[in-house]
């Protein structure tokens, strides 16, 4: 392949990833976004990231790599994946960092290249989400995490919020409690977060229950955030408290309170 073919091959993948995120997160994404970064204490310099949303709270690097023709580990490419992860680590902790890889299989290998990469380099990956995109099915899979992988619940495609709430049949699969690592999991006075799985579609929803203790009556607030994996839910739990998640969640979510009709966040 000539150099310009290589570039086109990568750019094409970058645009499919851009399209996927644009479709699944109601946010605007663009390519080749310069963000000033540097290690602690150093003067920051611009680095161009493949994809980012408008406020740069979601940053994505894209790699279209395969196993070698004979089914061996492409070691130079693994180094370049590590480099992408390194640049993602330079971003703020509050940022949702994704390394998107193309789904690459080989008859000699049991795992896809992305699965292999997560297994062998988890010590470097940290809070970077490794996502695997399959251009044939147009599906994105989030690989690293707690083994609960899925899609987000079907109701988030609906227009009518009350109908969406009615349609969502959640069973609790992970209880996160009311706080962890100094991050409070509710707004106002009390509450908790939990991960639910929709019994109808198998999709995952991060739920935040909050209560305001009034003098006469209590008010309650429940937010339903569509997530694609337990790992994605955990990435919000690590960084965003009750009010922050309502402000910074990338995309539309469902809000229910006792004194307003159920509504979409935007």
Residue 251 CA to residue 53 CA, distance in Å, equals 11
Query: How many residues line the site for Zn ion (CB under 5 A)?
Result: 6
Q: Minimum distance between the CB of residue 221 and Zn ion, rounded to whole angstroms?
A: 21
Query: Segment contacting Zn ion (CB under 5 A): 45-53, 153-161, 189-197, 218-226?
Result: 153-161
Residue showing tokens 């299989």: 105
Site string for Zn ion, 192-211 (x = CB under 5 A): ------x-xx-x--------
Residue showing tokens 């962890």: 180
Q: Residues 265, 253: contact at Cβ < 8 Å?
A: yes
Query: Segment contacting Zn ion (CB under 5 A): 29-37, 147-155, 175-183, 235-243?
Result: 147-155
Q: Quick check: 44 binds Zn ion (CB under 5 A)?
A: no
Which position among 154, 179, 183, 212 is part of the footprint of Zn ion (CB under 5 A)? 154
Closer by beta carbon to Zn ion, 109 or else 256: 256
Query: Segment contacting Zn ion (CB under 5 A): 68-76, 110-118, 145-153, 182-190?
Result: 145-153
**Residue 193, Cβ density class (10 Å: 0-12 exposed, 13-18 middle, ≥19 buried):** buried
Structure tokens at 68: 């070698």
R_g (Cα) of the chain, nearest Å: 20
Q: Residues 235, 129: contact at Cβ < 8 Å?
A: yes
Residues 172-191 that bind Zn ion (CB under 5 A): none
Q: Minimum distance between the CB of residue 168 and Zn ion, rounded to whole angstroms?
A: 6
Closer by beta carbon to Zn ion, 143 or else 205: 205
Closer by beta carbon to Zn ion, 37 or else 201: 201
Q: Minimum distance between the CB of residue 173 and Zn ion, rounded to whole angstroms?
A: 13
Q: Quick check: 153 binds Zn ion (CB under 5 A)?
A: yes
Q: Minimum distance between the CB of residue 216 and Zn ion, rounded to whole angstroms?
A: 36
Extract the runs of DSSP E, i.e. beta strands, from the chain: 29-37, 45-53, 58-63, 96-102, 129-134, 139-142, 170-177, 179-180, 183-184, 190-198, 204-213, 218-227, 254-257, 263-264
Q: Minimum distance between the CB of residue 252 and Zn ion, rounded to whole angstroms?
A: 15
Q: Quick check: 227 binds Zn ion (CB under 5 A)?
A: no
Give the CB-nearest residue to Zn ion. 198
Closer by beta carbon to Zn ion, 113 or else 155: 155
Structure tokens at 42: 């150093």
Query: Segment contacting Zn ion (CB under 5 A): 31-39, 63-71, 148-156, 239-247?
Result: 148-156
| ∠ Cα 167 249 200 (to 5°) | 20
Residue of 80, 78, 62, 48 whose CA lies nearest to 14: 62
Helices (H), 27-184: 75-89, 113-125, 161-167
Structure tokens at 191: 């509450």
- Chain residues binding Zn ion by CB under 5 A are 153-154, 198, 200-201, 203
């Amino acid at each position: 392949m000539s150099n310009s073919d290589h570039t086109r091959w990568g750019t094409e993948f970058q645009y499919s990833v851009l399209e996927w995120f644009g479709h699944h997160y109601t946010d605007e994404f663009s390519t080749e976004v310069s963000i000033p970064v540097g290690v602690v204490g150093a003067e920051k310099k611009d680095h161009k990231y493949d994809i980012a949303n408008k406020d740069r709270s979601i940053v994505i690097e894209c790699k279209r790599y395969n196993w070698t023709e004979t089914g061996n580990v492409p070691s130079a490419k693994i180094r370049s994946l590590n480099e992408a992860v390194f640049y993602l680590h330079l971003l703020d902790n509050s940022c949702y960092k994704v390394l998107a890889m193309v789904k690459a299989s080989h008859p000699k290998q049991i795992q896809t290249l992305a699965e292999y990469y997560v297994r062998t380099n988890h010590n470097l990956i940290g809070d970077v989400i490794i996502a695997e995109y399959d251009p044939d099915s147009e599906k994105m899979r989030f690989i690293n995490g707690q083994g609960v992988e899925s899609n987000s619940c079907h109701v988030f495609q609906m227009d009518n919020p009350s109908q969406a709430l009615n349609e969502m049949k959640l069973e609790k699969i992970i209880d996160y409690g009311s706080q962890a690592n100094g991050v409070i999991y509710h707004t106002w006075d009390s509450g908790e977060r939990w991960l639910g799985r929709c019994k109808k579609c198998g999709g995952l929803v991060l739920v935040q229950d909050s209560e305001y203790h009034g003098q006469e009556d209590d008010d309650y607030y429940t937010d339903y955030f569509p997530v694609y994996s337990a790992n994605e839910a955990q990435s919000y739990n690590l960084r965003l408290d009750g009010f922050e998640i309502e402000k910074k969640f990338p995309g539309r979510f469902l809000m229910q309170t006792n004194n307003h009709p159920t509504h979409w966040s935007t």
